[in-house]
Structure 1
């Protein structure tokens, strides 16, 4: 341990000596001239950016209808406009110095700074492919440091320093360099896996020969395979031994199996739902008091959107163990029933005819499956009927179509003189009884007596 510490200190001392020697070379007249040119480039590029940013932002406000990836790219360019101006001016300065003098040392710093700035710009643009903000920031800073060291010629020295920072457990040695490589390689593999998964998922969803539920299942399988492969390949690429990980994962799996029974149950239920095709995206279902259509099938839950805009996340286990009404499982035909009553004085044959014609006149009610109307009972105040009709678009709502049919019945009954009765109460005074009224509060009886 002491020997490793001494070698690490020696490497740091050597690196510091090299940096001091390079800084002394900056005091040469030719180097000072190049530094002055770079400062002028910084000032001019800053002025150009301040002058052109208002016009660019005004132009960006009119970019309506552009794809999102184009808008994001334009926004990236707008945020890095100053750096782009600086890179352009720096390379123009390098070209100008090449025309003035043939000595490479006269333009060495200019070319070095222009190369580093160009690499920084490329890194900042390409790392936008990493969606996770924390991971993107780590990858960006890591690549910025690496390209800077690469152009300065300090990659070997920096690698030796990072490799000297290590923790050792028996035969296993974990250094800062290995951790850094693992992060970079895993991030790149995850980015590639995400892009490949997105492309594959888009092709699967465009295939009409595959059912919606199978599309979701295939997309999830592709995502799991690609991201798992990216993770394990990233660990293997940096020399991590996966044998111990397999033993550890088995022990952890047993513990998680007891603690995450509900989660595992929902995951297994989600796979069963995708395989048996009992529900799929777009189906209209009822589960308890929840009625809506399925918008997404998740690994743990099913997303259901109701007519009032609420989104319910139903655990997959509830769809397996509970009673679910799928209004569009085998076909789109849905029969609806409404109940009404008419007065005893109205002809029931006329009532049935008028009700059927009224229901058939409403949009969304099927004509090839005509409505039917039947008497279902004789009530206290009315003759009770049931009106049945069919629709094929339950996603358009059920309450609204029922309301439209009720309005059509109201208009048709009013036009044909059919009345809808309501309960009426009568009070009869039997023969031989007398009606006694109680005086109002605050009044006195005619004989002047007291009021009870």
Structure 2
């Protein structure tokens, strides 16, 4: 476009506005139309207020689907505008039918603008993101208003008149505005679609939790990639520029994004090989907890004490991690204790096993077992082995219940613990 195109486009806009104003301002129909619009607006507001007092339309739609309820609510919020449109249409039709040369241009413009307002309000009500909702509403209303006033082509030409060449692409204000608006709408559409598909995937009982998370991540990435490609194509941008972008990303990875990429790839690997999945009970160093969420950069482990451990995915791949529920959710508890030499060994073993079986979480098969481990200086040392049904039930609570049962059983059967020391628990899997 030549440098003079901006001036020509601006002149066209000014000429259109002057012509319209000159035609309307020199006519007696201008004040009549303005007065009719103002009076109709007041009547519409009064009727809408009266209807709202008589009928509760929001309560009548409470059981409807969410998106349909949002659209109906948008109609209710713009009920006065709908009445205004209807009254203006009737007034304009009456004037044109009764008078041969009636001037109703402003009435037509008011009807079209009000109709565009209602349509945009209904469409944007389906967008729950407030920021994107406002952006889409403003952009759509601006385009509709310019189109109704006949200024859209001239405004587009003015915004496209000046540009800057960047990497073989002519960047103009029109291109920036159009690409930004399309990108926001495309990202919202991709996010909404991916959320819907993720809910369907997570509702499938045939898929394991790790496969569900993996598919959800892949769906979201694919939706976002498709959104970007569609926006670039719709904006007229050559897709070959993606090669430059890919090269820039490669340079970024080489300069300092290795960890980010490594964590992302590690997260995909963990989900693909199912070594760790949401709901697993794992030990990392001195920490023991439950996997609650697996993201693209880190995995969240709930320590059940108000803290969540955020572990980089790379560490879960490269370091030693104990997964207590990898093949089975069962967990073995070991409780070490001691008794006096005066207490028979068989009696002690039977009492310990009986105490363990009295706890609901302890499995009867494989059955608990008690073994003597050492002849101490002042007491016999034992270890009680027992399996609990689920690691997710919390080994600390089960351990506490077992020790209380042992205390009560020993006291009832005369098993003497001569020198109570700090008991401890060892968690281990079956060989």
TM-score range, shorter chain: 0.7 to 0.9
Match of 1:389, SS state, is: strand
Q: Where do 1:74-89 residues align within 5 Å?
A: 77=74, 83-89=78-84
Deviation larger for 146-155 or 243-252:
243-252
| Native 8 Å contact 2:253 2:261 kept in 1 | no
CA contact (8 A) 1:41 1:86 kept: no
Match of 1:127 in 2: 124
Instruction: Output one character per residue of 1:131-185: Cα deviation in whole Å (capped at 9) or x when no partner.
Output: 6554443332211100111222222122211221322469642222222222233
Does residue 10 in structure 1 map to residue 8 in structure 2? yes
CA contact (8 A) 1:8 1:161 kept: yes
| Alignment match, 2:364 | 367
Q: Are 2:48 and 2:79, in contact at CA under 8 Å, matched by a contact in 1?
A: no
SS at match of 1:242: coil
Q: 1:266: Cα distance to partner?
A: 0.8
| Shift of residue 215, structure 1, vs aligned partner | 2.0
Q: Deviations over 1:215-269 (max 9, x none)?
A: 2222222222221122122112222123244035214413422311211211121
Asked if the contact 2:333/2:386 (under 8 Å) is kept, the reply is yes
Among 292, 296, 299, which residue is 1:302 paired with? 299
Look at both structures and tell me which one has the larger radius of gyration over its CA atoms: 1
The DSSP-based 3-state class of the residue aligned with 2:329 is coil
Structure scoring higher RCO (CA < 8 A, sep ≥ 6) equals: 2
Give the distance between the partners of 1:423 and 1:355, measured in 2 at CA. 16
Deviation at 1:114, TM superposition (A): 3.1
The residue number in structure 1 matching 2:39 is 40
Q: Give the aligned partner of residue 20 of structure 2.
A: 22
- The residue number in structure 2 matching 1:210 is 207
**Residue pairs, 1:181-196, within 5 angstroms:** 181-196=178-193
Deviation at 1:420, TM superposition (A): 2.2
Q: 1:161 maps to what in 2?
A: 158
Cα offset, 1:35, TM superposition: 2.0
Tell me the CA shift for residue 66 of structure 1.
Answer: 9.2
TM-score scaled by length of structure 2 = 0.85
- Pairing of 1:40-439 with structure 2 (within 5 A): 40-44=39-43, 77=74, 83-99=78-94, 101-102=96-97, 105=102, 107-130=104-127, 133-168=130-165, 172-422=169-419
Mapped contact 2:9–2:155 kept (Cα < 8 A): no
Segment drifting more, 136-145 vs 273-282: 136-145
* 2:279 alignment partner, SS class: coil
* Residues 283 and 321, structure 2, Cα contact 8 Å, conserved in 1: yes
CA distance in 2, matches of 1:34, 1:168: 48
Structure 2 stretches lacking a partner, 5+ long = 422-431
Kept in 2, the 8 Å contact 1:91–1:111? The answer is no
2-side partners of 1:192 and 1:280: how far apart?
29
- What do the CA deviations read for 1:394-443 (whole angstroms, capped 9, x no partner)? 1121100111111111111222222322279xxxxxxxxxxxxxxxxxxx
Q: TM-score, normalised by structure 1?
A: 0.81
Is contact 1:129-1:191 (8 Å) kept? no
Q: Which stretch shows the higher mean deviation, 7-16 or 397-406? A: 7-16
How far apart, CA to CA, are the structure 1 residues paired with 2:51 and 2:344? 83
Deviates more, 1:409-418 or 1:239-248: 239-248
Residue 273 of structure 1 deviates from its aligned partner by 0.8
SS of corresponding position for 1:257: helix
CA contact (8 A) 1:285 1:294 kept: yes
Q: Deviations over 1:113-143 (max 9, x none)?
A: 2332232233234235556554443332211
Give the stretch that moved more between structures: 286-295 or 201-210. 201-210
Rounded Cα–Cα distance in structure 1 between residues aligned with 2:76 and 2:302:
43
Q: Secondary structure at the match of 1:366?
A: coil
Q: In the aligned structure 1, how far is the partner of 2:141 from the partner of 2:407?
A: 75
The structural deviation recorded for 1:186 is: 2.7
Paired residue for 1:440? Answer: none
Count of aligned residue pairs for this structure pair: 417
Q: Is the 8 A contact 1:302 1:314 kept in 2?
A: yes
CA apart distance, 1:51: 7.6
The Cα shift of 1:272 comes to 1.5
On the 8 A contact 2:88/2:111 being kept in 1, the answer is no
- Cα 1:376/1:59, change in 2 over 3 Å: farther
Alpha-carbon distance in structure 2 between the residues aligned to 1:150 and 1:59: 33
| Structure 1 residues 88 and 276, CA gap change in structure 2 (3 angstroms) | same
Task: Report the Cα distance in structure 1 between the residues aligned to 2:248 and 2:214, rounded to whole angstroms.
Answer: 28
